[in-house]
Amino acid sequence: MAIEDKITLAPVQDEFQRYYAEKIWDWIPAVYKNEDGLAKNPNVLRSIVEILAREAAIGRRSIDRLWEDQFIELCDDWAIPYIGDLVGTRLVHALNRRGRRTDVARTIFYRRRKGTLLVLELLIRDIAGWEGVVLESFKRLARTRHGLDPEPGELEGFITETPPGGWAKINSVRGADLVDGPFDKFAHTPDFRQLRGKLGRYNIPKLNFHLYRQLPFEVNFATPAGFGDGRFTFDPSGRDMVLFRPDQRPDPPQWNPPREWELPAPISCRLLNSARYQITAGVIDDLIAKGLSQSAADELAVYSGVLFRDEVRLRETLESLNTSSEILVEFSTMLAEAITETSPKAHLIPTTVQPDPSAVVVAKGDDKASPPVEHQKILAGNLEDWGASLGALASGKELVIDPERGRCWFLTAPTEQVWLPVYHYGFLGNIGAGTYDRRNTIKKKDETFSAGGDTNPGSVTLEVPPPAVKGVYEIVDSKTYLPDDDIIGVENVTFQAGNFERPYVKRIVATGNEWVFGAQPKTDGELRCLNLDGLWIGIEQEGAAPILLPCTPVGTSLVLQGVFDRVVIRHCTLDPGGARAQLIPGQCLAIPYVQLLVRGNVEELVIESSIVGPILEDSVAGDSGTIQNLVIRDSIVHGIDPTTPALETGLGRVKLERVTVLGDVRVNRLYASEALIQGVVTVTDNQHGCFRFSAANDDPQTRLPQQYESHLFEPLIPNHFFVSRRFGDPGYTQLSATAPESIGRGGENRSEIGAFNRLINSIKRDDLNAKVNEFMPFGLIAQYINET
């Protein structure tokens, strides 16, 4: 098992404790066992025996693992410092368990290659778990090249058309797009200031560490949202989103200087369109096999081995030939086969260079076996106006993709069904519905919701089960499902998504704005439990019409009706709302936010690792709703409507652990730890509860329980503390570089306050800095720049 893939599993159910308890109990004379049962305080002796048995079981497990504890790949966490002492490493923070184990395992590897870019970039991956690029900033200084400088690479200045260390060609738009990033090819003057934003980056002793912290999540065979006339969004809810490129960095034995398309980050139009072509003898032979004349082949052979920077240059060159009319007939074939390995497009869309993995794949046909749209038929472009401003496109093109908005447009509306075999979105962690590993929470399924097999990529009607509803129902893929009714008569039921799947469950209501989950009345004393796991839930009113900008928030409700003993929402997204991609300028169609509305009584409501809209009790109905105990952990609660609080309960107890709340909180009793609340907190019973290691707005109406190590921001927590507050963006609720240290390191573990506390990014940053200082060349200055 690789170091990076080691997973700390739950203790094995080996029954050692029970075995030793019975064995020790059997050794005790019967008279003492009998007296233990008759005593005024019975079972005291039995309790002592069970304590001894528990310690004996621990000892037995330790003995059984003595061999594994000799190896860093297999040992328990307690043994890591001892093995680290053998190699003399400086251990990183104990909370960074993965980084500590990997550091010990590779210490000798680091020492043998100390000071190299290989080690410095590998430290980013090993210690912090991120990807990154290390840039020696002196190489980007404007200067006369020295004879000892390495020769410029094949693609040095290819985009900027500027010689290394020379003056910038400022009309190079594509080159300007890379300025101040890790792949900047322009030359800069020295900057002696300390790093602050984009200032102070370039000087002789500075090493710039460009960090990519957001993760790419692969979605397979999702249902695109259709807008008619061949227009689609990759996001099934119809909102704009940024397409991500997957992590394609090679392992250390195959390490090479990073290329832009290898790193997990948003895809730009420039990168998706970037393709270079080279005519080879093999390409010419294939054209001859397709009927190209020998005279045309001889004329084409003159350009064999020449590298063309883009499709336009190649076409212009071919049009200048005497046999251009004959050659251009097979121009699409030439593009398909002549694309080079150095082309970013060849690694983002399936090509002969790299058919898989790919960042983006679009297909049309009747089943999953339908071939994807070929790369030579795809263009990247700005689809803000859905292609109205693109003008006439080159012949042979079929599809335009806007990766910066997550839109695609077929120049001719397809008659076949459109599939999305693969696309990637980015996010900072495993929160909300997502295509990540959830094996620890998935239950054994009783029933499976069918999606039409391999022949139906579109929305699928979901027939909800009739009362009484119990068992485990699983959605096995990431398509869009349309439930046909409310779910009434819940006894003990789980609705879950398959592992690594993210189905979009959208309830379209003909009247009203509610989707009701009703509990079966209690007659037998059994528990009434509802579990939702891995689902992305949206609610929409049938026939909703666009409105004029600005887009006013529209509310819908997922209603818990009746008496529930326990409701668990885990790894789910109750859509916090937004707006669909604009179809007509000046108009918008709102994506309704889904509030969790309790109409009845819920003894315990648990929300874990989820993104949800407002959580409210129904005070309008005759029998008002009540949440006795509300527990929210590692989640985001977003109240997009300023007129509606993000969290409001009347009598119950609310516990927030590592939660980011965008909106006001009005509760009776509050226990908050590592909670970041961008709103006013009003607690009725402030004699009980606590507000520890948390932050909120400082407002005259603020009423908090006892505070400890917490912060109030006057007049409020500003929006710029977050990278984005829009659901669908990769930086949604991620702390920005402008957030103060009191939030970035204000948690009990000295990591950030809020939903991403458990990622311990602040601690990983400190660990990375400590290891970089240990292994980088003497006299240099390390600077850390967050790219994502």
pLDDT per residue as tens digits for the range 256-269: 888 899 999 999 99
Question: 133 and 270 share a domain?
Answer: no
The whole-number pLDDT of residue 67 equals: 87
Q: Is the pLDDT of residue 6 over 60?
A: no
What total number of domains does the chain contain? 5
- Within-domain flag for 475: no
Q: Is the pLDDT of residue 581 over 60?
A: yes
Closest Cα to residue 129, out of 162, 159, 158, 103?
103
- Within-domain flag for 490: no
Question: 393 and 328 share a domain?
Answer: no
Window from 22-36, 485-499, 504-518 with minimum mean pLDDT: 22-36
Question: 138 and 24 share a domain?
Answer: no
Give the whole-angstrom CA distance, residue 588 versus residue 579: 7
Q: Is the pLDDT of residue 3 over 60?
A: no
Question: 209 and 269 share a domain?
Answer: no
Which residue would you say has higher pLDDT here, 697 or 2?
697
Instruction: Convert the pLDDT of each residue in 316-372 to its tens digit.
Output: 898 888 888 888 888 888 888 899 998 999 999 998 888 888 899 999 887 777 889
Q: What is the mean pLDDT of residues 364-390?
A: 89
Choose one of 323, 338, 353: the last residue of a domain. Answer: 338
Q: Are 222 and 236 in contact (CB under 8 A)?
A: yes
Per DSSP, the residues of 118-164 read HHHHHHIIIIIS-EEEEEEGGGGB--PPPTTSPPPPTTTTTTT---T
Question: 459 and 588 share a domain?
Answer: yes
Sign of CA dihedral 436, 438, 444, 448: negative
Q: What are the structure tokens assigned to 232, written together? A: 């689609």
Alpha helices in 345-388 (DSSP H): 345-348
- Within-domain flag for 621: yes
Q: Is the pLDDT of residue 559 over 80?
A: yes
Chain-centroid distance of CA 63 in Å reads 40
Choose one of 61, 89, 111: the last residue of a domain. Answer: 111
Q: Are 515 and 539 in contact (CB under 8 A)?
A: yes
pLDDT band for position 711 (50/70/90)?
A: very high
Q: Is the pLDDT of residue 4 over 60?
A: no
Task: Provide the β-strand partners of residue 696.
Answer: 712
Question: 231 and 316 share a domain?
Answer: no
Question: 684 and 780 share a domain?
Answer: no
Q: Is the peptide bond before 468 cis (omega within 30 degrees of 0)?
A: yes
The whole-number pLDDT of residue 724 equals: 96
Instruction: Convert the pLDDT of each residue in 599-647 to its tens digit.
Output: 999 999 999 999 999 999 987 655 678 999 999 999 999 999 999 999 9
Answering whether pTM is above 0.95, one says no
The whole-number pLDDT of residue 113 equals: 92
The whole-number pLDDT of residue 250 equals: 83
Which residue would you say has higher pLDDT here, 584 or 453?
584
Question: 146 and 270 share a domain?
Answer: no
- Within-domain flag for 492: no
Instruction: Convert the pLDDT of each residue in 201-224 to its tens digit.
Output: 999 999 999 999 999 999 999 999
Residue listed under structure tokens 């989640």: 635
Which residue would you say has higher pLDDT here, 675 or 450?
675
Q: Is the pLDDT of residue 293 over 60?
A: yes
Averaged confidence pLDDT in the chain:
89
Question: 741 and 723 share a domain?
Answer: yes
Dihedrals φ, ψ of 770, to 5°?
A: -65, -40
Choose one of 313, 338, 363: the last residue of a domain. Answer: 338
- Within-domain flag for 523: yes
Of all residues in the chain, the percent with pLDDT exceeding 90 is 59
Q: Are 730 and 242 in contact (CB under 8 A)?
A: yes
- Within-domain flag for 491: no
pLDDT band for position 66 (50/70/90)?
A: confident
Question: 313 lies in which domain range?
Answer: 277-338
- Within-domain flag for 8: no
Q: What is the mean pLDDT of residues 765-780?
A: 94
Q: What is the CA radius of gyration of the chain?
A: 30
The whole-number pLDDT of residue 8 equals: 42
Question: 300 and 365 share a domain?
Answer: no
- Within-domain flag for 522: yes
pLDDT band for position 9 (50/70/90)?
A: very low
Q: Is the pLDDT of residue 698 over 90?
A: yes
Angle at 638 between CA 648 and CA 517, to 5 degrees: 65
Question: 134 and 240 share a domain?
Answer: no
Question: 646 and 774 share a domain?
Answer: no
The whole-number pLDDT of residue 13 equals: 72
